[in-house]
Amino acid sequence: MTLNLEQIKEIIPHRDPFLLIDEVTELEPGVSVTAKKYLKPDEYWFKGHFPGQPVQPGVLMIEMLAQAGAVCALSLPENKGKIAFFAGIDKARFRGTVGPGDTLELHVTMTKKKGPIGFGDAVATVNGKKAAGVSGGMEAGLLSKVSELTEELYTKSAALDEAVAAVPTDDSQKAAHYYHDVVISAMDAVRVPADKLEGLVGKKFWPFPTYSDILFYV
């Protein structure tokens, strides 16, 4: 199976200027992938790495391999619409230099899967010579879990809004019983996905005070 740039964008969420693969020349979903990156002289990183002697940064070669691996993992029907996070690297090696005009061939083979985490071996070559190689783990399920919990939070928040909107206004005793029996239960239901999300989302991206903030800083 081959994929052009637009077809790649249907599988992974990366976009310019950080979509770093140009085409897929071979793909067996969930098993292996070969992709290419054509390194043009005007790639933005060459301006500063290094002036007068442009060299492809090794970390971006790793990212290219990660994006190729993401295509492999997310091309499976059960992973459609998900995001794969690069969770770790083992035994990364860089050999020689790569620069403008070179074509990187990115080869990734998935070696095992443990829960939502997929492991793979990856090699980047130029003209058949190895430029970089890694063995790493890629978590295809983390953002899927975040998305599922976010959807659950949205649904239960909407249910809480409906419950609050239906509070009896003609009798304070009825209203008190309603809050006890219905609203508090709806609030507890909202807390379940919210608490799980707080444990998954980094504090930098969490828009609300954490329990630690409330207990020790507020």
Q: Do 61 and 131 contact (CB within 8 A), yes or no?
A: yes
Residue 74: exposure state from Cβ atoms within 10 A (0-12, 13-18, ≥19) = buried
For residues 33 and 19, what is the distance between their CA atoms, to the nearest angstrom? 16
Alpha-helical regions (H) of the chain: 5-9, 58-74, 142-165, 172-178, 184-200, 211-216
Please give the structure tokens belonging to residue 141: 């399920």
Tell me the catalytic residues.
Answer: 49
